[in-house]
Copies of this chain bind each other. A is one copy, B any other.
Amino acid sequence: MSNLSTTSDDILACARSLIVAGGYNGFSYADIADVVGIRKASIHHHFPSKVDLVRTLVARYREEAEAGMANVELHESDPHEQLRIYAEYWEACIADASAPFCICALLASELPVLPEEVGLEVRAHFRSLSAWLTSVLERGARRGRFQLVSTPRAEAEAFMATVHGAMLSARAYGDPKVFGVVTGPLLERLAPRSLQIRP
């Protein structure tokens, strides 16, 4: 159960960054082969088909996301701070261009032409992210930390949508700062000055 070969990880990492750049149809096995320094056929040894590759890629991404959410829950109990950590995580990713887009958000945009197995993973991510955000908002509202204008669920969907849209705008403008410009006030709005617990 240790890290067997790193090649398969290299392939996954490479595929991930290629998908972030151009989606499912935006890369080929040949592209990966070039970057990883391996032959096309060797990739098929690790991932028989492109669907296998992308499916396990998204599955792993989901695991990481899930772990990330659990980690936030573990180290920070304040709902408002939790959302801030989430937003700032993406802000950092976009700023240093390490992963300037959520893979699932990108793949979701091409859902109609995606292989079914991949599409299922993508949808699952949306559901799990939305569920977590809903729980955070609900807890925050219960504690009087947030001032919600609609249901926690609706606010969570709006929050998620805005974050995804902010990624898109940052990419469209070619300016990482746009992400912060959009998400900053988003957090402010949920917890107005009057509710801030600044000692």
Contacts and interface: CB of A to CB of B under 8 A. Distances in A.
Q: Kindly name the residue among A109, A162, A163 whose own CB sees the greatest number of chain B CB atoms within 10 A.
A: A109
Interface string A173-184: 110001001101
Nearest to A158: B182
A126 to B, nearest CB: 4
- The SS class assigned to the A binding surface is helix
Interface in A58-114: 101, 104-106, 108-113
Interface string A155-199: 101101111111011011110001001101110110000000000
Nearest to A114: B22
A23 B162 CA distance: 21
Given A23-B110, A157-B169, 20 more contacts: A21-B110, A21-B112, A22-B113, A25-B26, A26-B110, A106-B109, A108-B168, A109-B109, A149-B188, A154-B182, A157-B178, A158-B181, A158-B182, A160-B169, A161-B164, A161-B165, A161-B182, A162-B162, A164-B164, A189-B189
Contacts of A11: none
A40 interface: no
Interface in A113-165: 113, 122-123, 126-127, 149-150, 154-155, 157-158, 160-165
